[in-house]
Amino acid sequence: MSLYMTADVRYDMTTTGSPPYQAFLTWCANNSIPVQTGWQVRAYNETPLRAELDVIDLDEQGEWITGEDGVPVTHTDTYYPAALPPIQGHMPRLTT
């Protein structure tokens, strides 16, 4: 498997408006990847193309379930996008 891109899903409105992140969100929408439910997205340059979304698990009230380390508990869903994302490499959650 050839990892093409890793994107940490951002929830801070001040960083979600950047042009690269907006291009990533458009790619997710065009490929029916519900990024708003996730913690991290990985795209692989394979045949067929593949993307994995770590979906955040929710409790009965719809709140995030977090582990002892404070990181959300997730499970992985797989998608088969039509194209690779417009960004390659790693898009971290926090920017400086």
Residue 51 lies in a domain: yes
Q: Domain range spanning residue 12? A: 3-85
Residue 25 lies in a domain: yes
Cβ pair 31, 82 in contact under 8 A? yes
- Give the pLDDT score at 93: 80
Residue 80 lies in a domain: yes
Residue 91 lies in a domain: no
Residue 42 lies in a domain: yes
CB-based contacts of 3, cutoff 8 Å, min separation 6: 42, 43, 44, 45
The percentage of the chain sitting over the pLDDT mark of 70, rounded to a whole number, equals 96
Q: Is residue 96 over pLDDT 50?
A: no
| pLDDT tens by residue, 44-72 | 999 999 999 999 999 999 999 999 999 99
Average pLDDT, the chain: 92
Model confidence, pTM: 0.89
Total number of domains in the chain: 1
- Give the pLDDT score at 11: 79
